[in-house]
Amino acid sequence: MLRGTWAELRLIELPGDFDWAKVARTYRESIKRLMLADPDLRPVIEAMASLRTSAAVERLAGPARAFDFARYAAALKAAHGYLILGPLDPDWTQYEGRVRLESVYVPQSVKQALPPRDLTRDYLRSLKEESLGAGLRCAPSLQKL
């Protein structure tokens, strides 16, 4: 970029082995020193350094990998899939690593709970409905329901 600007302005002819990269580095370093010396510009250079650091960390980390649930489950089973019986009794050490948790525990089955009911009142109401449906006369205590 600097070389192109120099040629465009048609300034004095420079030797063919002129080190444009060194000029750019020197210029960049002098700008950094000026920015660090100026209290108003110091936060700018610190922010730029932080961005470079985060970009470098991302390059080192590489692409994000998807979490391998199957591998995680296998590692958990290997580490915690057996009962540790040795601390219970020294005679149990012969069974260490042989009693699988799956053989001891039963999977739980869960169902939705019914709403709370007043069994007496519900039973009496159903008796009243049955007796009315059958054409029978209800007892006076059931007529209030």
Query: What does the alpha-carbon distance between residue 51 and residue 83 come to, in Å, rounded to a whole number?
Result: 50
pLDDT at 132: 66
> By C-alpha distance, which of 105, 95, 103, 97 is closest to 80?
97
Query: What does the alpha-carbon distance between residue 140 and residue 145 come to, in Å, rounded to a whole number?
Result: 10
Q: Looking at the whole model, is its pTM more than 0.85?
A: no
Q: Which residue has the tokens 């007496």?
A: 120
Q: How far is CA 1 from the centre of its chain?
A: 45
Token pair belonging to 11: 């300034």
pLDDT at 109: 81
pLDDT at 137: 58
Distances (CA, A) of 116 to 112, 119, 122: 12, 9, 11
pLDDT at 97: 66
Query: What does the alpha-carbon distance between residue 88 and residue 91 come to, in Å, rounded to a whole number?
Result: 9
Query: What does the alpha-carbon distance between residue 141 and residue 138 come to, in Å, rounded to a whole number?
Result: 8
pLDDT at 90: 72
Query: What kind and span of H or E run contains 52?
Result: helix 42-61
pLDDT at 6: 72
Domain ranges of the chain: 2-61, 69-104, 118-145
Q: Which residue has the tokens 């525990």?
A: 105
Query: What does the alpha-carbon distance between residue 100 and residue 78 come to, in Å, rounded to a whole number?
Result: 10
Max distance between CA atoms of the chain, in angstroms, equals: 122
Ordered per-residue pLDDT tens for the chain, 145 residues: 667 777 777 777 777 788 878 888 898 888 888 888 888 888 888 888 899 999 888 888 877 778 889 999 999 988 888 877 777 777 766 766 677 877 877 777 877 776 666 667 777 778 777 776 666 555 555 555 5
